[in-house]
Structure 1
C-alpha cells in the first residue's frame, strides 16, 4: 500500500545485542503532525562533505521507565547508544521523499537518574555507495509522548566531528571491475575520542549542535523540507557473533587457530610487516571487530574478498590459496599504543558491514610491538527464518539447498541485494526471484512489499521504473520495469492484500504504456532506448548492444525476445486488471499480447531449424526466445514440450548454434518446464549448480566461470538461488491455485528420485508433503494443509481433492 495507507503503523523494536525482533506498538501517530524535534547538524562542519559525527545528550529520569519510545533517523546513517550500549542501527535505506525512521522502546536500557543517549552519525559524501541516497548530514530523535520529549533533538544536544576517520578508495580501477560500494574506513586511533558513547565520558569540549532547516515533518505535510519521513516497515537486521574458521597463510609472523577462537593473542614485533590470510570457511556479511593494544603507529590493513586470484586473474577453485593473491576491499586501522587494561584496548569496527570469505590482515609496525587481542565478526542481514524444509532420496541435492539459502540470506538486508560484495543494489530482475524464495522458504513478505513500493517510488517521467532502487546513480532497464509488473502478479497470487496492489496499478499502467508506444508497424518491438538487458549470455550478432547482456534487435528493433517478454507481462497485467474490475483495459493488454505473439511467430519462426530466431533476419537463435514463446503460448500448446526439449538439447557449439541461458534466465527455463509438464527434467538441469559446488563456492555465482576465460565477477548473486523456489514449486509441486493463495495445487515432479519431502510456510500455516513413487509409477504419501486451506493433488493426469489437515494419498 502507499505510505498514506500505512501511516498508522508504528514499529516497536525489542532490542537485544542483535536488535532483531520487531513488534507492533500502539503509540502517538507522528505521521500526521509536525515534530517538535528538529534535525541537527554540526554548527561549523560542511553538511555535504565526508564526515563522521557523534551526538550526545544526558537526561535525568525520576525512576526507571516501563516505556520510553523514541523515533530516530539520520542521513546518511546512525548507530544509537543508550548508556554505552548499542541499541539500533538505521535508518532503513530509502529515498529522500520516503525517508525512514525507526520507532524504538529504550526503556530496557534506561535507569533512574542520569542517562546518556549517544549516536554515531556519518555522511559519506562522494565516498558513499550507490545504494545510499541522501540530502545532507542530519540527525533526528523525537520522543513519542510527554515523558519522552526530554530526549528530543534540539540545541541542548552536543556534537563532535571525529577527526580519526578518512576514506580509503575502493573503486573500479583498484578492483578492476564494476564495484560501487563506496570507500573503506581509515581510522587513526590517536585521534579517536575513545569511550565517547559511555555515560562517564567528559564531553565538556563538545559544541552545541545546530538546528537545521524547516520544521520537521512527515511525508505529505508542509511546503519545504528535504526528508519526507515515513515509518520503517521492515524489522531491524539480525546480528550475531561469528568467528573465522582457520588461518590459511602467514608471512613473517606467527598465528594459530587459537587466535581465531579468542584463546591466544598475536604479537607482531616492532619494525615488522606481517601478513595473515584468514578463511571464514563460507562467505558471510559481517562487521569485523578487531581488538588491538600497544603498537603505537602500527598500520593494520583489513582486506576482504570472496575468493583469491591467480596470476591470470582467475579465481578457479575457491578453496585454494597457493599461488593466489588478495585483491579486495580495504579498511585500515592505525594503533595509538594503548595498553591492554580496561578501556585501553582499541576496537576497530567499520561503519558498514563487509562481505568476505577471506579476510587478510596486513600488519606494519613501527617502534613497538602490536598485540592483536581478538577478531570476531558480527553477522548481519534481514532476519529471515528458514521455515521451509526439503529432502529427497538424492542427498547430493541437500548442499544445493543449503548453499542456495545462504546465497538468499546474504543478498537481503534493508533491501534485496543483487550481490553483497560489489553493489548491494536492489535490481528488479534479481528481486523478483529473491522475493519468491522469501515467500516459499521464510514465509516473510515484508521485504518483498517494500521492494515493490521502492520501485514504484523510482518511476521517472518516461513512466518506467528505474532498474535498481534505492540508488543515487540513475539507471534504466526497460525489461526490469516489465518484471516489476510481474512481481505485482506474483505478490497477488501469494498474498491477499488488495489495497496495496490496487495502489500500484497506476504505475503499472505507465510501464505498460511505455512499451506499447514502442510497438512498430511490424508488430514487433520498435527501436528501444535505455539498456534492454536480458541475460549475461553470449548473444550472437548483437554488436550494436555495447552495454552487454542485450539480445540482437533491441537497438534497431525487431527483437523476438523483448517482444515476447512484453507479451508475457501483458498477460499478467490483464489478470490483475480484470481482478480489480478494469475489464476493458485487461482485454486490451491481452489482445496486445496475442498480437505480439502472432508477429513473433510469423516473422521469427524458422521452420527449417524448428526454432525461434532472435530477429526476423534469422541470423541468431537463443534459448531465451523459445522459453518466452512457451511461457506466452506464442507456439501452440501441443508443440511446446517438444520444442522445449529440442531447445535444451541444442548446444552452443558453433556460429549458428543456440545462445544458452545462464544462471539468471534459467529461472524462466524452469518455469517453462513447469508449464509444459516437463518438471521431471528440472533436477538434471542443476549440473551448473553442482559444478559451482565442485569449485568450492559457498554461495552461488552471478554467471558461470568461463573455460580458460574470466571467472564470475560475483560469487554471491541473488538470481542464482532460484533452485530453492523450484525445489518446492516443481519437485514438491506446491503452487497457489488462486489469487491470494486461497487454495493450493500440488503437482510433484521429481524425475528419477524415489522420495521427496517438503514443507513451506503459508499465511494460514504450513503446507507439508511426503511422497514416494510406487514400483508401477504411482504416487503415495502424506499431504498436510492448514485447517482452512483446500486444494488439489495432481499426478500423471489423475487428481485428488485435498482438505485441511493431514491426509494419506495414493494415486496409481
Structure 2
C-alpha cells in the first residue's frame, strides 16, 4: 500500500474523552476509471464510513497501536462518475484505554485509489470536520472493559450530515497530524479477516407494557479518573482513599430514598447531614443498596467515602421522593464550580498489578479517616485543613443522568396488558405501534428478540421534540425477575426531534431483551420499527448435528449460536459485558469453531495478537490488545497449545515456525520462575475455574504446574518443526523435570490425590479439587497407579472434592474423559448441566453453573453472563465423539470416523474439513441387536479410517467427493 494520505483530526484535545467527530469531503469523480475504486481507511478509535450517504462499513479491527489496522473497501459502484461525490466518516474516539483498545489519540486516515493507479483523494486539511453536537460526551462508561454509554439529542444535530448536498460551510478544516509512521500508529497493517456481517433481525414480540416511576435525580461520577490521575491511559486496578461531597437541594422537606446501584466500589460509607449511615439502615440485594432518609428543605449534605480498590471506579447515585418537588445536586461550598460535586483526595493512590510488585495504599491513614467524623455541615468542607486535597470535580466526569439506574430501579411498576396494536412496533409492515402516555408516570415497553444477539440497535419513530427515550438491553428474565447488568451500562438515551425520524447506534452491544422507557412525552410515541443488526465474523453453517435425543439437539444449537455471537474481529468472551479477546478462552472456542465453521484466518490473527503484549509482560497478558496488564499463566499456556493445535488443524508449518519464536520467548521467561524444588512459582492471577479451589495469586499452584508441563512439551514439538533441535531437547527436558517435581512435592499419598497448591508461606493446601485431578490426568503427568486413580475420579468424583464450577473447566474434563473412553459420562454431564440451562430458557450458553450460587448474593442469578463462548463445548464433543470425526494427521489428511452411540439410536451431521469441503456422517444403531448402519461422505483426497463401535456389526456406506481442481 502506497500511502499518500495524512492522519487528520480536529482542533482541541489530542485524546478527548468520549468524542464523536464527523469528517466529510466532497470531490469530483472522473468520468472514466472510477469503477474499480478502492477506499483505504483507519481511525482511532472506531469509525463508520459513508460514501454518498450510503453506509459502507465499520472498523477498524482491534489492533496494537504500533500495528494499526486499516480496511479496504471496493466503492466504485457507489461513486457517481463526472459528478460531485461525498465521502464521510463518523469517528468515535474513546479517550480512555479499555480491554480491547489502548489509548492513542484522535485520528482519521483515508485514501481513495482509482483502478487506473491514480490517487483520487487523501485525508488532509481540505477535509471538513465538526464535533457531533448531538452526542453528549458526559455519558458514563459502559464498563471497565468497554468505552462509553450512548446519549444523543437529535435536536442538536442534522442526521443527514453525511449526504452529498449537506451544507458544511459551518465546519472547520481538519488539522493535519502527520504522515504514515507517526506515533502512536508507527506501522500500518491491512485487515487480515473479511468484513463482519450485518444481518437485520427483528424483535419477536412486545413482551410487556408498564407505567413506571424511577429516581427523580441521578448521576454517575467517574471516581477513578478523579482519584487516580492518569488512569485513562491504562485499564489496571487502582486503589485510592478519598471522598465525594455534594448538597442535595430540596424545595421542601420530605422523606426520600437514596439508591446506590452497582454498589461495591466507590461506596465505603457515607453520612447524611452529618449523621453516619450504618449498614443496618441499608436494604436491597447486592449490588443494589438503598437507604431511606429525611430531606430537609434546602440543602442536605451527602458525604461519601469513595475509597476503594476499583476497576470500574464509578459511583452511581439516585434520589427518589414521592412528593412532587424540585431536587438538585448543588456544590457544597460557597465558591462557584462547574459541577455540583467536590472531591477530597486522593489522600493516597496506587496502581495494582497481579504479576509484579505494587503498593497497597494506607487504609489507616488518620488524616484521611478523620474527615468523616469532622465534617458535619457543608461549611466544614471549607476548613483550611482540607485545602491540599479538596477540589471541584470537573463537569466532564459527572454524567447528566444515570440512565442505567433509571431503567433498572422502579419505585412504581404498574403492569398492563399489551394491546395488539402495540405489537405493530415489531412487525415490519409500515404500521406504527403506539406507546401510550400516562400522567405522572413514564411508560416502559419491553421487546424480546427471541434469543441473544450482538450488534447495533436501530429504530424509527414519530414523536414530539424533547421526548426522552431510554433504551436498556439485558440478557435474561424469568417471570417477574430481570437480571440487571450490574457493571455494564448497556443503555442508549435518545432525545427526539419533532416528527418522524430514525436512528442507528454506532455502538456494539449484546442483548436479548430491550426495555424502552419513554419519559417526558406529552403525546403518544409512534414506533414504526425496532431492528437489530447482528454482526459477526462471516461464517457458513457447515457444521451440523442431530440425534435421537432432542435435549442434545437443543444444547448443540445454543452452543452453535453462542460461538457465532462471540466471533467478532477476534474470538470474544461475551457480546454484552466485555467483548474482550481473552487469550485462554479462545483456545477452546477455536476447537469448537473448527467443528462448526472451519474458518482459520480469525484464529490466526488472534494468535498473532498475543505476543504484542510482551512489553507489558514477557509472560504475555491474558487479554489483548488491552490496557489491563494482567497475567493468567494458564491463558498463556492455552495460547501456546492453540498455536500447536492450529498447525495440527491446518498443516500450516510456516505459521508454526513463525509462532515458535514467540512461544520460545515466553517459555524461557516462564522457566525463570522455577524454584529450588523444581516447581513453577509465580505471582499472577492464577485462575482456572470460578469454583472455590485453592489457587492463590502467589505461590505454587498445581494446575498451573501441570499445564506448564504440557506447554513445554508443545514448545518442544514446535521447535522440531522449526528445526531447533537444541530448543526441542531443552524444552522436553524441562517438561520432564517439572513433571517429576510435581509428583514429588504436590502428591498427597495419604489422600491419593494432588493437592491444589503450596502457599507462598510454605503451607500445603488442604483442599482437594476435581479440577486439579482432571488436569493431572489430561496432561499425562500422573502415571501408573496414580493415573489409574485420576481416571477413576473422572468417572466417580469424591464428594469432598471441590466440584467443577464452569463450562470452561468442563471442556478439560470432557477432554480427559474422551481420552479414557468416558463418552457416556460426557453426555450425562452435558445433559445435566446444559440441560439445566435449557430448562431455564437459555438460548445461549452460560458462563457459570448455578450450583455455585453461594458465591452470589442473589439466588435468582443463575450466572453472570448468559452468553459466553468458553462454554460451547457440546458443539465440539458431539461432533468429535458421537459422530466420531477426529483428525489423525496435521491438516486432516488422515481422519478417523468412529462413532460412539452411548444409547442413542441415530445421529447425523457434518464436520468442516480445513482444506474445504466437509465430512458427513449418518448412523443408526440398535444396541439390542448390536447392529449399526453407517454412511460417510468425505473429500476423496482424505484418507478415512472408518470403524464401527466395539460390539457392533453392520454396513458402512462410503461416498468420496472429488475436489475441484
TM range (shorter): 0.7 to 0.9
Q: What residue in structure 1 maps to residue 879 of structure 2?
A: 728
Query: Is 189-198 or 37-46 further displaced after alignment?
Result: 37-46
Matched, 1:445 2:600: yes
Q: What residue in structure 2 maps to residue 207 of structure 1?
A: 172
User: Are the counterparts in 1 of residues 204 and 450 from structure 2 also a CA contact under 8 Å?
Assistant: yes
**Alignment counterpart, residue 793 of structure 1, candidates 926, 932, 946:** 946
Alpha-carbon distance change, 224 to 603 in structure 1, aligned in 2, over 3 angstroms: closer
SS at match of 1:186: strand
SS at match of 2:465: coil
Aligned pairs for 1:64-143 within 5 A = 65-112=34-81, 113-126=83-96, 129-143=98-112
Alpha-carbon distance change, 749 to 600 in structure 1, aligned in 2, over 3 angstroms: farther
Q: Distance in 2 between matches of 1:198 and 1:410?
A: 32
Q: Distance in 2 between matches of 1:511 and 1:786?
A: 39
Matched, 1:538 2:683: no
Q: Distance in 2 between matches of 1:738 and 1:190?
A: 62
Alpha-carbon distance change, 224 to 319 in structure 1, aligned in 2, over 3 angstroms: closer
Q: Distance in 2 between matches of 1:211 and 1:600?
A: 59
Give per-residue Cα distances to partners, 1:408-427, cap 9 Å, x unaligned: 11111112111111111101
Q: What residue in structure 1 maps to residue 891 of structure 2?
A: 740
Aligned pairs for 1:93-492 within 5 A = 93-112=62-81, 113-126=83-96, 129-145=98-114, 149-167=119-137, 169-170=139-140, 180-213=145-178, 215-217=179-181, 226-252=185-211, 256-262=422-428, 263-269=431-437, 273-307=442-476, 318-321=477-480, 329-337=490-498, 339=499, 345-367=500-522, 369-460=524-615, 462-492=617-647
Alpha-carbon distance change, 49 to 661 in structure 1, aligned in 2, over 3 angstroms: closer
User: Are the counterparts in 1 of residues 15 and 104 from structure 2 also a CA contact under 8 Å?
Assistant: no
Q: What residue in structure 2 maps to residue 766 of structure 1?
A: 918
Aligned pairs for 1:541-620 within 5 A = 542=694, 551=695, 555-557=698-700, 559-615=701-757, 617=764, 619-620=766-767
Give per-residue Cα distances to partners, 1:522-549, cap 9 Å, x unaligned: 23223x112111111121xx3xxxxxxx
SS at match of 1:165: coil
User: Are the counterparts in 2 of residues 460 and 466 from structure 1 also a CA contact under 8 Å?
Assistant: no
User: Are the counterparts in 2 of residues 605 and 613 from structure 1 also a CA contact under 8 Å?
Assistant: yes
What is the number of residues matched between the two proteins? 731
Alpha-carbon distance change, 200 to 783 in structure 1, aligned in 2, over 3 angstroms: same
User: Are the counterparts in 1 of residues 656 and 722 from structure 2 also a CA contact under 8 Å?
Assistant: no
Displacement of 1:47:
4.2
User: Are the counterparts in 2 of residues 494 and 740 from structure 1 also a CA contact under 8 Å?
Assistant: yes
Give per-residue Cα distances to partners, 1:645-678, cap 9 Å, x unaligned: 33442254xxx53443531111111111121222
Query: Is 665-674 or 372-381 further displaced after alignment?
Result: 372-381
SS at match of 1:280: strand
Alpha-carbon distance change, 628 to 332 in structure 1, aligned in 2, over 3 angstroms: same
User: Are the counterparts in 1 of residues 894 and 943 from structure 2 also a CA contact under 8 Å?
Assistant: yes
Displacement of 1:207:
1.6
Displacement of 1:74:
0.9
User: Are the counterparts in 1 of residues 932 and 952 from structure 2 also a CA contact under 8 Å?
Assistant: no
Give per-residue Cα distances to partners, 1:473-508, cap 9 Å, x unaligned: 222211111111001011010012222221111210
User: Are the counterparts in 1 of residues 919 and 939 from structure 2 also a CA contact under 8 Å?
Assistant: yes
Q: Distance in 1 between matches of 2:31 and 2:169?
A: 26
Give per-residue Cα distances to partners, 1:60-113, cap 9 Å, x unaligned: 224373211121111111111111110111111111111111111111111221
**Alignment counterpart, residue 717 of structure 1, candidates 842, 863, 868:** 868
Matched, 1:697 2:842: yes
Q: What residue in structure 2 maps to residue 220 of structure 1?
A: none
User: Are the counterparts in 1 of residues 99 and 624 from structure 2 also a CA contact under 8 Å?
Assistant: no
Q: Distance in 1 between matches of 2:140 and 2:28?
A: 44
Q: Distance in 1 between matches of 2:558 and 2:14?
A: 45
**Alignment counterpart, residue 643 of structure 1, candidates 767, 775, 790:** 790
Alpha-carbon distance change, 573 to 754 in structure 1, aligned in 2, over 3 angstroms: farther
Q: Distance in 1 between matches of 2:207 and 2:53?
A: 36
Alpha-carbon distance change, 469 to 125 in structure 1, aligned in 2, over 3 angstroms: same
Q: What residue in structure 2 maps to residue 502 of structure 1?
A: 657
Alpha-carbon distance change, 225 to 294 in structure 1, aligned in 2, over 3 angstroms: closer
User: Are the counterparts in 1 of residues 563 and 589 from structure 2 also a CA contact under 8 Å?
Assistant: yes
Q: What residue in structure 1 maps to residue 289 of structure 2?
A: none
Matched, 1:666 2:810: yes
Q: Distance in 2 between matches of 1:179 and 1:402?
A: 31
Q: Distance in 2 between matches of 1:37 and 1:803?
A: 62
Alpha-carbon distance change, 148 to 155 in structure 1, aligned in 2, over 3 angstroms: farther
The alignment's TM-score, normalised by the length of structure 1, stands at 0.85
Q: Distance in 2 between matches of 1:202 and 1:588?
A: 68
Displacement of 1:148:
5.3
Q: Distance in 1 between matches of 2:485 and 2:768?
A: 40
Displacement of 1:574:
1.9
Query: Is 372-381 or 263-272 further displaced after alignment?
Result: 263-272
Q: Distance in 1 between matches of 2:812 and 2:563?
A: 18
User: Are the counterparts in 2 of residues 391 and 398 from structure 1 also a CA contact under 8 Å?
Assistant: yes
Q: Distance in 1 between matches of 2:942 and 2:484?
A: 55
Displacement of 1:373:
3.1
SS at match of 1:396: helix
Larger radius of gyration: 2
Give per-residue Cα distances to partners, 1:252-308, cap 9 Å, x unaligned: 38752221113323244486521112221211113111223332111110011112x
Give per-residue Cα distances to partners, 1:320-360, cap 9 Å, x unaligned: 236887865211011122x2xxxxx3222222122111111
Q: Distance in 2 between matches of 1:46 and 1:325?
A: 36
The alignment's TM-score, normalised by the length of structure 2, stands at 0.72
Q: Distance in 2 between matches of 1:476 and 1:276?
A: 43
SS at match of 2:535: strand
Q: What residue in structure 1 maps to residue 396 of structure 2?
A: none
CA-atom RMSD, angstroms? 2.7
Q: What residue in structure 2 maps to residue 54 of structure 1?
A: 22
Q: What residue in structure 2 maps to residue 515 of structure 1?
A: 670
Displacement of 1:368:
5.0
Q: Distance in 2 between matches of 1:770 and 1:639?
A: 39
User: Are the counterparts in 2 of residues 129 and 183 from structure 1 also a CA contact under 8 Å?
Assistant: no
User: Are the counterparts in 2 of residues 83 and 198 from structure 1 also a CA contact under 8 Å?
Assistant: yes
Give per-residue Cα distances to partners, 1:417-446, cap 9 Å, x unaligned: 111111111011210111112222101011
Alpha-carbon distance change, 265 to 257 in structure 1, aligned in 2, over 3 angstroms: closer
User: Are the counterparts in 2 of residues 764 and 789 from structure 1 also a CA contact under 8 Å?
Assistant: no
Q: Which runs of 5+ in 2 are unaligned?
A: 212-415, 759-763
Q: Distance in 1 between matches of 2:438 and 2:164?
A: 36
Q: Structure 1 runs of 4+ off > 6 angstroms?
A: 323-327, 797-800, 802-805
SS at match of 1:238: coil
Give per-residue Cα distances to partners, 1:212-263, cap 9 Å, x unaligned: 12x224xxxxx86634210000111101111111222212387522211133
Q: Distance in 1 between matches of 2:460 and 2:616?
A: 50
Which structure carries more strand by proportion? 2
